[in-house]
Amino acid sequence: MIDNYVLSELGIEKKEYQKKKGAFVIRFKDLEEWGIAKAQMNKNLSFVKNIPLVKMSDVCADFKNGVNFSSGQVGQGTRFVNIKDVYSEKYVNNKNLGRVQLSEKEIKNNQLKNNDIVFVRSSVKYEGVAFPSLIKTDNEPIVFCGCLIKCSPLSNLISPDYLLYLLKTSMYRNLLIGLSVKTLITNISQDKIKDLKIPLPPLKIQKEIAENVEAMRRDICHTRIQAESILENAKKIVEKVIL
């Protein structure tokens, strides 16, 4: 539902992706003029509104891989974002972060800023590569590990929340997965993410889309809680009858 809303607001007509032998089959012959790499987008996707396409590198800065360290350094020190922390519903949960011992220089060079977006650079699971999440910083430094890529959205051009929701749509998940390289593990490079083209409506529209999606997420969460409560009450009624 959220996917369809975001795409429809951008004027994108979406049809289902095909899946074959565990790999995504994506065709887009009529979109080659967009300058997107081969076999990235379903040919049935098209823009019906006059929204410019820009590269990620046009609206985000400071693309960078994270810091590498050994398991012996983990346990104390500075909080760090690991692969598992990225697979969140929206923001990285700072309360669950591990800690790693790093030098002051390493901390400075790899410290995340508020509203940075992190991507999974290397994933054992094919479908997990390039998964994005958003960073919300607090008073304590946070760094990120070498299996991740980060970038900083330029707030005068793009809403970080809009960008995150867009990158999490099934369409863009498939695009990013299609850009990855699969060996023993699946990897994606900074350059592939930098060259990814995205629709850039006016900033006001971006923020409206993000706000509406967030409202839908809250409604879904509320409905889920209500459903769980009803189910729990039903179980209690059954238990009373049986017992």
Give the per-residue pLDDT at 118: 98
Q: 13 CB contacts (<8 Å, ≥6 apart)? A: 44, 45, 46, 48
Task: Look up tokens 């509203």; give the residue.
Answer: 115
Give the side-chain half-sphere CA count within 13 A for 232.
Answer: 6
Tens-level pLDDT at each residue, the chain (243 residues): 667 777 676 766 655 444 444 443 334 443 444 444 333 444 444 454 578 899 999 999 999 999 999 999 999 999 999 999 999 878 999 999 999 999 999 999 999 999 999 999 999 999 999 999 999 999 999 999 999 999 999 999 999 999 999 999 999 999 999 999 998 899 999 999 999 999 999 999 999 999 988 887 777 776 777 777 787 877 777 777 776
Q: How far apart are CA 62 and CA 81, in angstroms?
A: 17
Helix (H) or strand (E) holding 217: helix 203-242
Q: What is the DSSP letter of 36?
A: P
Cβ atoms 79, 142 nearer than 8 A: yes
Give the per-residue pLDDT at 55: 96
Number of domains within the chain: 1
Q: Which residues, in sequence order, are bridge partners of residue 238?
A: none
Across 154-177, b (16+ Cβ under 10 Å) vs e yields: eeeebbbbbbbbbbbbebbbbbbb
Q: How far apart are CA 197 and CA 134, in angstroms?
A: 19
Domain housing 222:
2-242
CATH code, 192:
3.90.220.20
Angle between helix 2-9 and 203-242 (nearest 10): 160
Closest by CA position to 7, among listed 59, 48, 52: 48
Give the per-residue pLDDT at 21: 42
